[in-house]
Every structure is written in C-alpha cells, then in structure tokens.
C-alpha cells in the first residue's frame, strides 16, 4: 500500500534542505549560542550562510572583472 506524499510545512515551502556534519564540541557550542540568543540553530546557520556569501561577493567585486 503506497503512502500519500506529505505536504511540506508552510515555513519550508520553496526552500532547499542541506546537511552539515559538525564535531560534537561545535554542535554543543551552536546549541548553547542558540539558547543564549533566544534563536534557533536553523536561524544561526542561515545567518552564517548569508555572511559567507556576502563576504564572497565583496571579494569578487574587488577582483578585476568582478568574477
């Protein structure tokens, strides 16, 4: 008997999922930071991705040709 596909949660609609493997001490630090800042690990990871992409854009813009 085939199961009917489930609909994604509204907060996940239109988004892609990624996985990351962290050392246990980094995972613990991340959980503590999320608790201390009253946010989620997901929000911290999205912020980290945004920071890395912004940093890369800045470096790309400084190179000749912007690539």
pTM for the whole thing?
0.71
pLDDT at residue number 8? 77
Q: Where are the domains of the chain?
A: 21-60
Question: Is the Cα dihedral 38, 42, 43, 48 positive or negative?
Answer: positive
pLDDT tens-digit map of 8-64: 788 888 889 999 999 999 999 999 999 999 999 999 999 999 999 999 888 766 666
Asked whether the predicted pLDDT for residue 67 surpasses 60, the reply is no
Q: Whole-angstrom Cα distance, residue 61 to residue 53?
A: 12
Query: Nearest to residue 17, comparing CAs of 49, 39, 51?
Result: 49
Residue 40 has a pLDDT of 96
* Cα–Cα dist 12/57, whole Å: 26
């Amino acid at each position: 008997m085939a199961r009917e596909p489930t609909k994604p949660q509204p907060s996940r609609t239109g988004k892609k999922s990624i996985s990351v493997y962290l050392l246990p001490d980094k995972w613990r630090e991340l959980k503590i930071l999320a608790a201390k800042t009253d946010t989620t690990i997901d929000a911290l990871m999205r912020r980290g991705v945004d920071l890395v992409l912004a940093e890369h854009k800045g470096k790309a813009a400084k190179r000749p040709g912007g690539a």
